[in-house]
Structure 1
Amino acid sequence: MHRTLPHLRTFRLTTFNDCYTLQNLPRLTTYLASNPSDAVVLAGDFLSPSTLSSIDFGIGMISTLRASGVTHLSLGNHEADFKLPLLSSRLKSFNKTGKILNSNILGLKDVTCEVDVIKKDGLSICLHGYIGDEINMFRDGTFKGLKISPVFETFQKILSTHPSISLHIPLTHQSISYDILFAKKIANLGITTIIVGGHEHEKFDDLIQENEDCVRIIKTGENCERVSVIDFKFDDVEDKLLDINVEFVEMKDYEPCPVVQKIADKHLSVLESMEETSIITTNLLPKIFENRPLSSLRTRFEQMSVGCFICSAIKLELDVDYCIINGATIKGGVIYEEGEMSYAELKKELPFPTKIVVVEMKRKVLEEAVEWSRNNIEDGSMDETHPEVEVARRGYLQVDFDLEINPVGDPEELVTVALPRNLMAGFCKIKPLIEFGKELKDKGIYPNEDSIIKAVDIVVRFCCKERWVSLSEETSFDEIDLNHDGMLDASEIKLAMARFLGTEPQDFFVEQMIEAIDEDHNGTIEIEEFKQLMAAVRRRKE
């Protein structure tokens, strides 16, 4: 007697995570056209960090994600790089075609959903979205001030409030070690499923088995270089999960969709248009450098104005106490005779990723690191036959304005410091930072790869805001508000900038300025927003 196999119902999920570029999204569209999915999800990190988002504040990424066919986003730690009003504005924009999953951040409920239940062929598939609750995900343990509820406890709560579900699928954005612990706890509940993870930038396919149940952890890498295609197969009569099949698909094998490529190119053209735009001028330099040129000639020998500006910009934009970077990361070796630096020139000055992280350390560690970098010769760099020759140090630490002016303080004071992550791993052999890095690793709080933001992107973001500072020092709100309606629109700002710059700025230039301080994101600048800017100007001058 032949046994009849049960008919199967299938739910297909296409996933990727940590997407910082638009390059592969048109390829994803082509793939989905011939391989449709019931849901296409991105498990966190899509707005930051990227050079484009540092300029257009995420507009290009959201627009291209929507066009490419992505149906669901969950939040990653770098979404917290944006202020909450701006983040909410971007999420609302995505909500026009998709959904934002946020199961455990206690806030943003007006623009996110706790879960999304997808109905298909009598099945009910519940998608969750979790930001990690691990201790070093955020400096203050919150998402931009919003409390994060424990991942597993929240998962259990959702199980109890959504009882008639065929399958629960959690999207997470946390370290793989935390995903493994989460998977074990889920399996111990007697549940078989898949965790769609983000945060790491490597491919993972791990099977965690407890008793008779198993949970698989899938992460695809970064930048949509590949996607995972997951087919969940159910019995045709019961909501019984019979099989899970996972396939990784490389996007490089697919031609870009012309329509989506056109959308991506439109947004990327902002970067091309900005190449010759002046974004740094001498009037942005601290007073200590007001009679010195804008220069990066000797960043391996002494504190230079370009190094001080870069560090100060990073410090102010990330809202930390201090910033240090090693001189070897600054490559321009140029005196800017006109006192201006373009975006293209800034990229030449910072050609490497220069992966900035933020850590908390005692002030004495910071002071010892700066002193060590400036007084100790790196191994192999000393010319023994010519000891009188000045020695360049790759690790000579350039510092921000505040640290240059006040290099010492209470040695036991805890301060927040932005610095290149690799300095704590031994690059440039700055002994106090190496020892500090070992301490962080022993405590399990060493910043991971997904904690970084490229220095050039932070500086560009800062400079977009500083354009307003420069303009506000030259004119007043009433002078810009030509029709006296109490708000500044793009045309009025464009005219004011033309007077200030001497040439008419491009539209994207004006759009960036509006995005930089438009707290309510209505496309105009109100008097209160302008006053906040003026307060920032006063603080900068104090």
Structure 2
Amino acid sequence: MLRRTLPLHSPRLIRLVSINDVYTLTNLPRLHTFLSTLSPPPSAVVLSGDFISPSTLSSIDAGVGMISTLRATGVTHLSFGNHEADFKLGVLKERVRSFRKSGEVLNSNMREGGKEGGGWLLSLTSPTSIITSQNLKVSLHGYISDEPNMFPSNTFKGQKISPVFSTFKDIVKNQPEVDLHVPMTHQSIGNDIAFARKIADMDHSTVIIGGHEHEKFDDLVQHNGRKVRIVKTGENAERAAVIDLVFGEVVNELLEVRVEFEEMSNYSPCPVVSKIASKHLSVIKSMEETSIITTALLPTIFSERQMSSERTRFRQTSVGAFICQSVKLELEVDCCIINGATIKGNASYPSGKMSYAELKKELPFPTKMVVVEMTRKVLDDAVKWSRENVEEGGMDETKPDMEVARRGYLQTDYDYEVGGEGDDDEILLVALPRNLMGGFCKIKPLMDFGEELKSKRIYPNNDSIIKAIDIVVRFCCKERWVNLSETATFDDLDLNHDGVLDASEIKNAMTTFLGEEPPDFFVEAMIESIDEDHNGTIEIEEFKQLMASVKRRKKGT
């Protein structure tokens, strides 16, 4: 266990504690306990990106529970990760505003503006934070990666990302009174190493507190007579790093960077923080027994198979096929493909049911679906390529006979999987994750197709995106409506005969006609699935539109 107390005659130091990439609340109560044992206490507790997504809870409450628990834990500084871009800017703004009640959000290299709605990034985030102690001044920075293809259009929701190193240089130049500059980064370890070398070329020694990777790193870059240490703790606060910046007794010069990692499993959860976390997690608990998918929704081809997403990077799975089929039918397209890495995988459902929470776990990322026209040949070539080729670096060359997991293994809808061959030139409407056409998973036929769309200036923009999880939930909710319509008319459901169905009537109908009493969140999802005018109730015309779409669907199958 970490030595928590320094000797009485210790050199001057500033102590930091770091974590990164936190997707669950599980270890935060333990982290609070650990922080209380440290003497001297840390001057800052920092989290280097990915603090509100992806997680089951955040996909439901948009990060409210995570921010609340981080504040209670004692985290003082956040910086942005790539998954903070999973949310709309307005949602992110509210989470930042909430965290600022007790801490700071650092944003050093997104300060040049962007599309309308992002101006708050300048007012609610800080380029640096100055920590003072024992006549020392340390400047914390926060950097989002400027690596190509990290984001669509190489921007953070339309906000320009300035180069990490040139921004660092400018800040150093403009803060001559600071004794040490400490960058918090959210980028790949390769980019952190390159960044460390450039810092050393500036005749600086420091520590880079990094995120993005989900493994522990403690690398020392020695270059040009200087030392730059790179520290990453891994995901979910499973461990924390205590970083002591040791300075000379008289001169404010960094003598040493001491780093010790501590596993949070060694500590008991703080009861107060646990209570806060449990309060926010209660919404997930209410969903655990609410079945949103059952084998009754699976076509005959899979009805005798166990519902499973196991080995989704190796083979077609029933869950992968169901997700694709749901998107296909809901969007009324000819085919849907989704790469295996998008589906969390490795789960089976022997009961033949999948809860709403489990669906969220299967699709934890904001898989951004678009619909494009492509020839059957492009589609067939892409599916074949994804199942036969491996991304560069994805194979262990010392074990050529080992079965290889493919991030890009394309899951397809049932109809495509069992359908016959068609004409190569046939034009199909295909739903797929947009980033596959931008180079994600390196599926060459889709990359070539994406370049063709760009050359024709018809590449799907942000306005074309729909999240896969939202499409599947909408489909499943509509299926519940179909089940209701098979046993009751609109008039049967409209108990007070006012011409609309409200939440209480829908809940009563599901209990009466389907034998299940759904929680409020599911009733709200059902309303949202067909509520065209967004007034919170269902009119008879909206009900008729649903029935018409069902007829079209059945006619096409």
TM category (shorter chain) comes to 0.5 to 0.7
Equivalent AA in structure 2 for residue 152 of structure 1: F
**Cα pair 2:55 2:364 within 8 Å, conserved:** no
2:56 and 2:357 in contact (8 A); partners too: no
Amino acid at match of 1:70: V
How far 1:247 moved relative to its partner?
A: 1.0
Superposed, which structure 2 residues align to 1:57-456 within 5 Å? 57-105=62-110, 106=113, 107=118, 108-280=121-293, 295=303, 297=305, 307-311=320-324, 322-325=337-340, 342-343=355-356, 346=359, 366-370=379-383, 398-400=411-413, 417=433
Q: Quick one: which of 26, 29, 33 aligns to 2:29?
A: 26
- d(CA) in 1 for partners of 2:386 and 2:202? 53
Q: Distance in 2 between matches of 1:328 and 1:49?
A: 11
Equivalent residues of 1:193, 1:215 under 8 A apart:
yes
8 Å Cα contact 1:296-1:307 kept in structure 2: no
In the TM superposition, residue 276 of structure 1 has moved relative to its aligned partner by 2.0
**Is 2:12 aligned against 1:9?**
yes
1:498 to 495, 504, 507: 507
What TM-score comes out, normalization by structure 2 length? 0.65
CA contact (8 A) 2:339 2:409 kept: no
- Give the RMSD, CA atoms, in angstroms: 5.4
Contact 1:311 1:400 in 2 (8 A): yes
Contact 2:381-2:445 at 8 Å conserved across structures: no
* 1:140 match: secondary structure: helix
Q: Could you say what secondary structure the match of 2:93 adopts? A: helix
State the alpha-carbon separation in 2 of the partners of residues 254 and 248 from structure 1.
Answer: 13
Alpha carbons 1:294, 1:335 under 8 Å: kept = no
Q: Matched residues in 2 for 1:512 and 1:96: separation?
A: 32
Q: Which amino acid aligns with 2:338?
A: C
Q: Alpha-carbon deviation of 1:134?
A: 0.8
**Deviation per CA, 1:164-195, whole angstroms, max 9, x where unpaired?**
11211100010111001111111111111100
| Offset of residue 251 of structure 1 | 1.0
Task: Assess, with a 3 A threshold, how the Cα gap between structure 1 residues 499 and 281 changes in structure 2: closer, same or farther.
Answer: farther
Report the secondary structure of 2:153's partner residue: coil
Pick closer, same or farther for the CA change 1:416–1:135 going to 2, 3 Å: farther
CA distance in 2, matches of 1:94, 1:211: 39
1:304 & 1:230 partners in 2: Cα distance? 45
CA separation of 1:266 and 1:238: change in aligned 2, threshold 3 A: same
1:121–1:334 CA distance, 2 compared to 1 (3 A) = closer
Distance 1:515 1:73 in 2: 34
Counterpart CA distance in 2 for 1:343 and 1:46 is 22
Kept in 2, the 8 Å contact 1:196–1:219? The answer is yes
Cα deviation per residue 1:197-233 (whole Å; 9 max; x = unaligned)?
1111111111112222221111111111111111112
* In structure 2, distance between residues paired with 1:110 and 1:471: 45
Q: Which amino acid aligns with 1:93?
A: S
Note the C-alpha offset of 1:373: 8.8
- Rounded to whole Å, the distance in 2 between the matches of 1:144 and 1:64 is 26
Q: TM-score, normalised by structure 1?
A: 0.67
Report deviation, 1:94: 1.5
Question: Map of 1:45-60 to 2, 5 A cutoff?
Answer: 45-60=50-65
Task: Find the residue that maps to 1:310 and give its secondary structure.
Answer: helix
Paired residues of 1:131 and 1:173 also in contact (CA < 8 A): yes
**Change over 3 Å in CA distance of 1:169–1:365 after alignment to 2:** farther
Give how far 1:305 is off: 8.4
Higher relative CO (Cα under 8 Å, sequence separation at least 6) belongs to: 1
In 1, Cα distance between the equivalents of 2:137 and 2:85? 31
Deviations 1:497-526 (A, max 9, x none): 535644775455578899999xxxxxxx98
Tell me how far apart the structure 2 counterparts of residues 335 and 466 of structure 1 sit (CA, whole Å). Answer: 21
Query: Secondary structure, in 3 states, of the residue corresponding to 1:109?
Result: helix
1:471: how far off? 10
* Contact 1:9-1:234 within 8 A present in 2 as well: yes
Given that residues 215 and 235 in structure 2 are in contact (C-alpha distance below 8 angstroms), is that contact kept between their aligned partners in structure 1?
Answer: yes
Identity across aligned pairs (percent)?
A: 49
Deviations 1:396-455 (A, max 9, x none): 9642489789996699x99964799xxx99xxxxxx96x88999xxxxxxxxxxxxxxxx
The letter for the 2-side match of 1:323 is I
Structure 2 distance, partners of 1:33, 1:374, is 51
For 1:467 and 1:180, locate their aligned partners in 2 and report how far apart those are by CA, in whole Å.
Answer: 46
**1:9·1:235 contact (CA, 8 Å) conserved in 2?**
yes
Shift of 1:267: 2.2
Partner of 1:382: none
How much does 1:158 deviate?
A: 1.4
Please give the alpha-carbon distance, in whole angstroms, between the structure 1 residues aligned to 2:268 and 2:423: 54
- Paired residues in the alignment total 455
- How big is the shift at 1:61? 1.4
Equivalent pair of 2:326/2:475 in contact (CA under 8 Å): no
- In 2, Cα distance between equivalents of 1:114 and 1:328: 35
Deviation of 1:59 (Å): 2.0
How far the C-alpha of 1:355 sits from its partner, in A, is 12
Post-superposition offset of 1:160: 2.4
For 1:179 and 1:331, locate their aligned partners in 2 and report how far apart those are by CA, in whole Å. Answer: 34
SS in 1 for 2:15: strand
Question: For residues 115 and 507 of structure 1, what CA distance do their matches in structure 2 show?
Answer: 43
| Contact 2:327 2:431 (C-alpha < 8 Å) held by counterparts | no
SS in 2 for 1:110: helix
